[in-house]
Amino acid sequence: MPSEKDGVMIILSSPSGAGKTTLAKLLSKKKNFAISISHTTRNPRQGEVHKKDYFFVNDAEFKRLIKNEEFLEYAKVFNNYYGTTRTPVIDNLNKGKNVLFDIDWQGADQIKNKKLDYKLITFYILPPSKDVLFQRLSNRDMKDKLIVDERMKQFERDVLHWINYDYVVINDQIERCFNKIDNLIDAEINNGSKDYDLNFIREHVEKLTI
Ligand code: 5GP
């Protein structure tokens, strides 16, 4: 049964390449924070560890989890399936831990619509400019120009979902962005004042989408 002492759910979404995974890892180091480890059917990237970065599973196993209704949310992203299993999340929340989700807008919508009895704070992370995003995507493990182009196109579609989030934060510099999110989470949990300028964000999104 959810109570006052329960943890809060914090969703971080962003277009690919905006730095959200690094931010989620930094936030998960905070006291009393746990990161939700997703299941995915995509292949591990170099350096990724099974059960730490993701539970890497095949299509059959993913379908079994869907059938057993084990997912709190799941979605198809870039031709692979990704999903969050319910039990570890609820267990952590009931223990008073704040749970971080590094998931896309489809998953964020599904969790929002579930209207669970736990506080939910949602963040959308944006790159400072399209040029910076292009550079970040090109420098990743994806040397393939076609993939970079595809992700830039995907960005144009994904960015439109910013409006459904509680806060949009620009990742111009990782430390600054981390502090901003950290302060907003603290303010939300403790009912403090929030340093947030929606007009500035609106203008930034306009610049990114022209
Ligand atoms: P990547 O393959 O780069 O690790 O992740 C691709 C996208 O899938 C990212 O936007 C990431 O946030 C999203 N993602 C990762 N795990 C989940 C999940 O469990 N559910 C949903 N809906 N999206 C996820």
Q: How far apart are CA 127 and CA 165, in angstroms?
A: 16
Q: How far is CA 209 from CA 11, 48, 65, 158, 203, in A?
A: 23, 32, 37, 11, 10
Rounded to the nearest whole angstrom, what is the distance from the C-alpha of residue 131 to the centroid of ligand 1? 23
Give me the mean pLDDT over the 150-166 stretch: 92
Pairing of strands 80-85, 71-77: antiparallel
The percentage of residues in the chain with a pLDDT greater than 70, rounded to a whole number, is 97
pLDDT of res. 63? 98
Between 86 and 139, name the one with better pLDDT. 86
Q: In terms of pTM, does the model score above 0.95?
A: no
The model's pLDDT over 105-123, given as tens digits with 9 standing for 90+, comes to 999 999 999 999 999 999 9
Contact present, 139 and 29 (Cβ < 8 Å): no
The model's pLDDT over 8-53, given as tens digits with 9 standing for 90+, comes to 999 999 887 788 888 988 999 998 999 999 999 999 988 999 999 9
Rounded to the nearest whole angstrom, what is the distance from the C-alpha of residue 76 to the centroid of ligand 1? 9
Mutate which of 71, 103, 158 for ligand 1 pocket (most atoms within 8 A of beta carbon): 103
Q: How far apart are CA 8 and CA 27, in angstroms?
A: 13
The percentage of residues in the chain with a pLDDT greater than 90, rounded to a whole number, is 75
What is the 3-state secondary structure of the chain? Answer: CCCCCCCCEEEEECCCCCCHHHHHHHHHCCCCEEECCCEECCCCCCCCCECCCEEECCHHHHHHHHHCCCEEEEEEECCEEEEEEHHHHHHHHHCCCEEEEECCHHHHHHHHHHCCCCCEEEEEEECCCHHHHHHHHHHCCCCCHHHHHHHHHHHHHHHHHHHHCCEEEECCCHHHHHHHHHHHHHHHHCCCCCCCCHHHHHHHHHHHHC
pLDDT(177) > 80: yes
pLDDT of res. 142? 59
* Binding-site residues, ligand 1, Cβ < 6 A: 16, 38, 42, 73, 75, 77, 82-84, 102-104, 106-107
* pLDDT, averaged across the chain: 92
Measured over the CA atoms of residue 190, residue 180, residue 90 and residue 109, the dihedral's sign is positive
pLDDT of res. 2? 62
The model's pLDDT over 132-145, given as tens digits with 9 standing for 90+, comes to 999 888 887 556 78
* Domain range annotation of the chain: 9-208
Contact present, 38 and 82 (Cβ < 8 Å): yes
pLDDT(57) > 90: yes
Q: How far apart are CA 10 and CA 99, in angstroms?
A: 6
pLDDT of res. 74? 98
Mutate which of 38, 84, 150 for ligand 1 pocket (most atoms within 8 A of beta carbon): 38
Distance of CA 186 to the CA centre of its chain: 18
Q: How far apart are CA 152 and CA 85, in angstroms?
A: 29
Give me the mean pLDDT over the 192-196 stretch: 91
Rounded to the nearest whole angstrom, what is the distance from the C-alpha of residue 192 to the centroid of ligand 1? 31
Give me the mean pLDDT over the 150-173 stretch: 92
pLDDT of res. 111? 98
Please provide the CATH number assigned to the domain covering 9-208.
Answer: 3.40.50.300
